Amino acid sequence: MSDYDYDSYDSYDDDGFMYGSDYDAVEHMTRDPVGFQMHGYGGFGYDTSHVRPDEVPPELTRSAKEGDVASARMIVEKAAAVSDEKKNAVVNHARRWTEVDYRMSGFTKEYEWFDLTALATAASKGHHDIVQYLLEQGADPTLKGCPWEDDHLNALMAAEKLLQKSKNTAGSKSVGDDGLMLRCSQRCVDLLQAAKPFWKDATYSSSQYSNKREKFTNTPTDLEGLLRAVGAVPAMDEVPPRAITSKRGAAKTKAGKKIAANYDSKENIINGTTSGNATGGQHQRLCSRCNAYKPTGSYTKNQRAKGAAAKCKDCVNGLNAAQQQPKKKAQKKARNSKDFELALKIDDDIESIRENAKYRVLEMRENVAAVSRMRQCVQEHTKASASLLDVVEQLASATDRAQCAMKEMVRLAREIEDDALEEGVLPEF
């Protein structure tokens, strides 16, 4: 049965189920047939037998939702004992579920989605300790999920959504249950922001269900840097209640100033800094390139905005001559080598062009000679044809003359025969 409150509303509207409430279409159709029809649920007799049943949420996701760190750790360690691929599949797996759109035409339209991963689920509930553990275990924060219709979130988006909701609920409070949720959600955002520079969006990060998530090939660009950045985020017991919502320097206590200095003044995001004792308590920051803690003044404004991925001025400008000189020599040598190889390649190309040109010239000369020979043959054949035509004409003329002579002889023979008959020289028959 649905937990929808029928007495509070005139019709059975699906807007009350956008945030995870159970929806029973048969109950809706039975209790409110008119509203069922008017709101486009297809009326009576729709067929959903072809819709695949939703997958059961995985154990790690349930543990992340409940905030059970021990259970989550046991599940991950059990998978890691099998293989790294098994561990990646467990920490990044999300269940498949089907959204059914009931049309007024009597038919249905189905959409298959991925639900939130265990990391995004923990972030959406403010379980910062599980978020940190899963990030350290290689959970991909770029994978998106669709927990309900028209809402597609990755881990950071889910944490920021909870943080905004906590701010609206807590207001100016920083203590109590609302204040605790505010601090937990803020630390989730800090952890995910610290891990963000070390991840590229996976090609299969879409929340739309597909078979591309059978293998999880997306990995951090720098695992050690990721672990350092996540580890630099202050723990909950190190953050005073007011420091989480205060800008830099707004905290009143000494501990509050120490922790608040670790947050960006604009977005309250952890940036990989720490307080140093070697400089008399001067604020320091870890350089992601040389892995050394240096005063904040050793970083440019743009580098400080990069958070845990910040590099000091020495690393950015390359002022260390001992390291830059061999690099310059190697670059010059490589450049000279490339120029020499390019010159050889050009010489080879020129030689090849010359050989090809010679071959083409010889081929053209042979073609010209062949054309000349063909022209001579045509001329000879033309002359022979003309001579043959003259002979034929002469033969025709001789044939005409012979025919005329033959006719004349026949005529004379007949005259002689007639004269002989008249004189009686030839006997008559």
> CB of 101 within 8 A of CB of 110?
yes
Instruction: Enter the tokens of residue 219.
Output: 């990995």
Is the per-residue pLDDT at 246 higher than 80?
A: no
Residue 182 has pLDDT above 70, yes or no: yes
Tokens 């729709």 locate to 46
C-alpha 173/C-alpha 166 separation (Å) is 10
Per-residue pLDDT, 243: 45
- Percent of the residues in the chain that have a pLDDT greater than 90, as a whole number: 24
CA atoms of 54 and 56, how far apart (whole Å)? 7
Distance from C-alpha of 293 to C-alpha of 325, rounded to nearest angstrom: 25
Residue of 91, 93, 77, 145 lying closest to 116 (CA atoms): 145
The long-range contacts involving 28-37, CB below 8 angstroms and separated by at least 24 positions, are 28/2, 31/6, 32/6, 35/11, 36/12, 37/104
What is the Cα Rg of the chain in Å? 48
**Residues 205-232 as b or e (16 or more Cβ within 10 Å = b):** bbbebeeebeebebebeeeebbebbbeb
pLDDT digits (tens, 9 = 90+) for 339-386: 777 877 888 888 888 888 888 888 888 888 888 889 889 888 888 888
Q: How many CB atoms lie within 10 A of CB 159?
A: 31
The predicted structure's pLDDT at residue 29: 59
Beta carbons of 240 and 255 less than 8 angstroms apart: yes
- pLDDT greater than 60 at residue 271: no
CB distance 93 to 60 below 8 Å: yes
pLDDT at 1: 32
Q: Is 243 helix (H, G, I), strand (E, B) or coil?
A: coil
- Phi, psi angle pair for 233, to nearest 5°: -70, 125
How far from 191 is each of 126, 136, 205, 377, 392, CA to CA, in Å? 11, 10, 20, 92, 110
Q: 295, 283 in Cβ contact below 8 A? A: yes
Which sign, positive or negative, has the C-alpha torsion 213, 214, 216, 217? negative
| pLDDT value of position 259 | 39
Average pLDDT value for residue range 190-208:
91
The pair of three-digit structure tokens given for residue 261, joined into one six-digit string: 């200095």
Task: For tokens 């990060």, name the residue.
Answer: 205
The pair of structure tokens assigned to 78 is 């059990």
Q: Please tell me the least confidently modeled range out of 50-54, 269-273, 303-307.
A: 269-273
Q: What is the mean pLDDT of the chain?
A: 76
Pairing relation of β-strands 96-102 and 145-148?
unpaired
Alpha carbons 314 and 320: distance in angstroms, whole number: 7
Q: Which two tokens stand for residue 106?
A: 């009597």
φ, ψ (nearest 5 deg) of residue 279? -105, 25
**Element containing residue 113 per DSSP (H, E):** strand 108-114
Residue with tokens 């959204």: 99
pLDDT tens for each residue of 41-82: 444 456 677 778 888 999 999 999 999 999 999 999 999 999
Asked if residue 100 lies in contact with residue 28, where contact means CB atoms within 8 angstroms, the answer is no
pLDDT at 276: 39
Q: Is 233 left (phi over 0), alpha (psi -120 to 50) or beta?
A: beta
In this predicted structure, the answer to whether residue 191 has a pLDDT above a threshold of 90 is yes
Please tell me the distance from the alpha carbon of residue 293 to that of residue 290, in angstroms, as a whole number.
9
pLDDT at 282 over 70: no
Q: Over the stretch 212-245, which tens digit does the pLDDT of each residue have? A: 888 888 999 998 989 999 988 888 766 555 444 4
Residue 5 confidence (pLDDT): 41
For residue 184, pLDDT beyond 80 = yes
Q: Cα–chain-centroid distance for residue 7?
A: 48
Task: Count Cβ atoms below 10 Å from residue 125 Cβ, excluding itself.
Answer: 21
Q: What is the mean pLDDT of residues 242-261?
A: 41
Specify whether the CB–CB gap between 229 and 307 falls below 8 A: yes
